[in-house]
Structure 1
Amino acid sequence: MQTHFTPAQLEDPRISASERILRTCVHCGFCTATCPTFVLTGDELDSPRGRIYLIKDMLENDRPADEVTALHVDRCLTCLSCMTTCPSGVDYMHLVDHARVHIARTYRRPAGDRYVRKMLAMVLPHPGRFRLALAAARLGSPFAGLLGSMGETGKRLAGMLVLAPKALPKRVGPKPGTVTMAEGVCRSRVALLSGCAQSVLDPGINAATTRLLARVGVEVVLPRGEGCCGALVQHMGEEEDARDFARRNVDAWMKEIDGDGLDAIVITASGCGTTIKDYGHLLADDPEYADRAARVASLAMDISEYLGSLSLPEPSVKSGLRVAYHSACSLQHGQKVRELPQRLLGAAGFEVMNVPESHLCCGSAGTYNILQPKFADRLKARKVRNIESLTPDVIAAGNIGCMTQIGSGTAVPVVHTAELLDWAYGGDKPAALG
Structure 2
Amino acid sequence: MQTTLSERASQLPRAAEAESILRTCVHCGFCNATCPTYQLLGDELDGPRGRIYLIKQVLEGNDVTQKTQQHLDRCLSCRNCETTCPSGVDYHNLLDIGRAVVDAAVPRPLGQRLLREGLRQTVPHPDLFKSLINGGQVFRALLPDSLQSKLPRSAYPAKPRPMTLRERQVLMLEGCVQPSLSPNTNAAAARVLDRLGISVIASREAGCCGAVDYHLDAQAAGLDRARRNIDAWWPSLEKGAEAIVQTASGCGAFIKDYGHLLASDPAYADKAKKVSALARDLVEVLRDEPLEQLGIHASQRLAFHCPCTLQHGQKLGGAVEALLTRLGFNLTSVPDGHLCCGSAGTYSLTQPELSRQLRDNKLDALESGHPEVIVTANIGCQSHLDGAGRTPVRHWIELVEANLP
State TM-score, norm by structure 2.
0.95
Letter matched to residue 163 of structure 1? K
State the partner residue of 1:413.
Answer: 392
State the partner residue of 1:181.
Answer: 165
Q: Describe how 1:283-432 pairs up with structure 2 within 5 A.
A: 283-426=262-405
Aligned-residue offset at 1:160: 3.8
Change (3 A) 1:180 1:128: farther
Aligned-residue offset at 1:392: 0.4
Asked if 1:95 is matched to 2:94, the reply is: yes
Aligned-residue offset at 1:420: 1.9
Instruction: Give SS of 1:354's match.
Output: coil
Letter matched to residue 191 of structure 1? L
Asked if 1:165 is matched to 2:165, the reply is: no
Letter matched to residue 261 of structure 2? L
Could you list the per-position Cα deviations for residues 244-288 of structure 1 after superposition, in whole angstroms to 9, with x for gaps in the alignment? Answer: 110111011101112x21111110000000000000112112111
State the partner residue of 1:152.
Answer: none
Change (3 A) 1:70 1:6: closer
Give, in whole Å, the separation in 2 of the partners of 1:310 and 1:71: 46
Give percent identity, aligned residues only.
44
Aligned-residue offset at 1:161: 4.0
State the partner residue of 2:208.
Answer: 228
Letter matched to residue 230 of structure 2? V
Give, in whole Å, the separation in 1 of the partners of 2:156 and 2:80: 33
Give, in whole Å, the separation in 2 of the partners of 1:107 and 1:8: 16
State the partner residue of 1:430.
Answer: none
Letter matched to residue 150 of structure 2? L
State the partner residue of 2:2.
Answer: 2
Q: Describe how 1:240-255 pairs up with structure 2 within 5 A.
A: 240-255=220-235
Give, in whole Å, the separation in 1 of the partners of 2:83 and 2:164: 37
Instruction: Give SS of 1:84's match.
Output: helix
Q: Describe how 1:121-270 pairs up with structure 2 within 5 A.
A: 121-138=120-137, 141-142=140-141, 144-145=143-144, 159-166=146-153, 170=157, 173=160, 181-182=165-166, 186=167, 188-258=168-238, 260-270=239-249
Is residue 6–residue 61 contact of structure 2 (8 Å, CA) maintained in 1?
Answer: no
Aligned-residue offset at 1:120: 0.2
Is residue 54–residue 69 contact of structure 1 (8 Å, CA) maintained in 2?
Answer: yes
Letter matched to residue 37 of structure 2? T
State the partner residue of 2:37.
Answer: 37
Give, in whole Å, the separation in 1 of the partners of 2:398 and 2:156: 15
Give, in whole Å, the separation in 1 of the partners of 2:143 and 2:23: 46
Aligned-residue offset at 1:100: 2.0
Could you list the per-position Cα deviations for residues 369-400 of structure 1 after superposition, in whole angstroms to 9, with x for gaps in the alignment? Answer: 01100000000110111111110011110001
Is residue 9–residue 61 contact of structure 2 (8 Å, CA) maintained in 1?
Answer: no
Aligned-residue offset at 1:85: 0.2
Is residue 248–residue 377 contact of structure 2 (8 Å, CA) maintained in 1?
Answer: yes
State the partner residue of 1:282.
Answer: 261
Letter matched to residue 297 of structure 2? K
State the partner residue of 1:73.
Answer: 72
Change (3 A) 1:238 1:384: same
Instruction: Give SS of 1:163's match.
Output: coil
Letter matched to residue 181 of structure 1? L
**How big is the alpha-carbon RMSD for the aligned residues of Structure 1 and Structure 2?**
1.9
Aligned-residue offset at 1:103: 2.8
Is residue 349–residue 424 contact of structure 1 (8 Å, CA) maintained in 2?
Answer: no
Aligned-residue offset at 1:181: 2.0
Aligned-residue offset at 1:173: 4.8
Change (3 A) 1:107 1:159: farther
State TM-score, norm by structure 1.
0.89
Is residue 133–residue 180 contact of structure 2 (8 Å, CA) maintained in 1?
Answer: no
Is residue 103–residue 237 contact of structure 1 (8 Å, CA) maintained in 2?
Answer: no
Q: Which runs of 5+ in 2 are unaligned?
A: none
State the partner residue of 1:53.
Answer: 53
Q: How many residues align?
A: 405
Letter matched to residue 277 of structure 1? K
Asked if 1:114 is matched to 2:94, the reply is: no
Give, in whole Å, the separation in 2 of the partners of 1:410 and 1:357: 22
Letter matched to residue 61 of structure 2? N
Is residue 322–residue 393 contact of structure 1 (8 Å, CA) maintained in 2?
Answer: yes
Letter matched to residue 85 of structure 2? C
Give, in whole Å, the separation in 2 of the partners of 1:404 and 1:386: 17
Is residue 9–residue 16 contact of structure 1 (8 Å, CA) maintained in 2?
Answer: no
Q: Which runs of 5+ in 1 are unaligned?
A: 146-157, 427-434
Change (3 A) 1:161 1:307: same
Aligned-residue offset at 1:349: 1.0
Give, in whole Å, the separation in 2 of the partners of 1:179 and 1:52: 51
Give, in whole Å, the separation in 2 of the partners of 1:116 and 1:9: 29
Aligned-residue offset at 1:353: 2.0
Change (3 A) 1:334 1:215: same
Change (3 A) 1:136 1:62: farther
